[in-house]
Amino acid sequence: MEASGEVRRFAHQQWPYEPNYKRVNGWQMHYVDEGVGNPVVLLHGNPAWGFLYRKFVKPLSAAGRRVIVPDMVGFGLSEKPVREQAHTLDGHIANLTGLLRQLDLRNATMVCHDWGGPTGLGFALSNSDRVRALVIMSTWAWPLPPAEFHKRIFPWRMMHAPLVGPYLLGHHNALAGRGMYLSVVDRKKFRAEAQSVYEGILPDPGSRLLTWTWPRWIPLDESARGLARFEWLERELRKSKFPTLLVWGREDEVFDHATFATRFKELLPHAEGPELVTGRHFLQEDSGEEIAGKINRFLDRIDGKQS
């Protein structure tokens, strides 16, 4: 919602969904709310927004599920704070918690990708009475460090270094454009149907702040700001018994499945998968319908077990 009170609407043939807004934790948060049934919450990360799940909404809602797709505060159609200090990992978990409590969701399946992992799992592990299952894709939930890639100066640490981040990712929108392009398998299709949408939703440098702020929250050493929260995530996740499905991109070089899906499997030995699909980090772009089908079948199996 703009300062005028006007609802922000994104008109696009691939995104025919009504906008919904809640004020949560001091910010206006946008979400899509389609279908009826047990809720499935689809959580994006950096620098995406709900559009990443455009191929999930119809198959999941058609299968009798309520599909909630929030835009993280700072992305998509949600309010975009203009100061880096407005963004903290705990604050983003609190944003999501505020939204899902206002919607009074119960029996929710949390579908977690990228920073939707630490935030969505943070919600699930602190609101276990509202959650019934997890789907985990290309993310992490433990300290130090997520991947070898994140320790390297070229390109990762350089990309978000002081002043370089605001210039490269702010002035030049490098992550929503070229960055996502490099992180899909079918780049021609991505460029044709999606890249301009991800770039256009972050229209000016001020709106792109979170694209270089999130990378700075990845713990790289013992002094990192988010370290204690990640230690808590790992500790609590290891104790959790949520039915879980792991889905990973076969071509994901950053959160490679051999390292990351395997580690989740160690934390959650009862998890199904990892089920591998065509995809790099943004596997939803390459295999959206296929992953939605896997989620439907996974939830059908849970329903069968519970009936």
Partner 1 sequence: MTEIHVIENYTPEGKRRAFVLAEDRVGHYPEFREFFVRQFSLGANRLERPGYVRASSGMIYALVFIGRSGEPFPDGIEIYALPDALEPLNDSDVDADLWALLRWMIAGVGGEWRVEQLDATGRLYQLSVAANA
Given the rule CB under 8 A, which residues bind partner 1?
83-85, 153-155, 157-168, 170-172, 174, 178-179, 182, 216
In the complex, least distance from residue 289 CB atom to partner 1, rounded to whole angstroms: 30
Q: Which residue has the tokens 């990973």?
A: 248
Output 157 or 263, the one with its CB closest to partner 1: 157
Q: How far is CA 218 from CA 150, 154, 155, 211, 212, in A?
A: 8, 16, 15, 13, 11
Question: What gap in Å lies between CA 136 and CA 273, rounded to an integer?
Answer: 10
Q: Hey, how many other C-beta atoms are within 10 angstroms of the C-beta on 224? A: 17
Output 164 or 302, the one with its CB closest to partner 1: 164
Output 223 or 307, the one with its CB closest to partner 1: 223
Output 22 or 229, the one with its CB closest to partner 1: 229
Question: What gap in Å lies between CA 235 and CA 117, rounded to an integer?
Answer: 15
In the complex, least distance from residue 89 CB atom to partner 1, rounded to whole angstroms: 15
Q: How far is CA 200 from CA 9, 49, 73, 77, 203, in A?
A: 13, 11, 17, 11, 5
Q: What six digits make up the tokens of 200?
A: 């256009």
Question: What gap in Å lies between CA 100 and CA 295, rounded to an integer?
Answer: 20
In the complex, least distance from residue 150 CB atom to partner 1, rounded to whole angstroms: 13
Output 54 or 160, the one with its CB closest to partner 1: 160
In the complex, least distance from residue 80 CB atom to partner 1, rounded to whole angstroms: 14
Output 62 or 158, the one with its CB closest to partner 1: 158
Q: What six digits make up the tokens of 165?
A: 């981040």
In the complex, least distance from residue 161 CB atom to partner 1, rounded to whole angstroms: 6
Whether the link from the prior residue into 47 is cis, omega within 30° of 0, is: yes
In the complex, least distance from residue 157 CB atom to partner 1, rounded to whole angstroms: 7
Q: Rounded to a whole number, what is the distance in angstroms from the first to the last CA of the chain?
A: 41
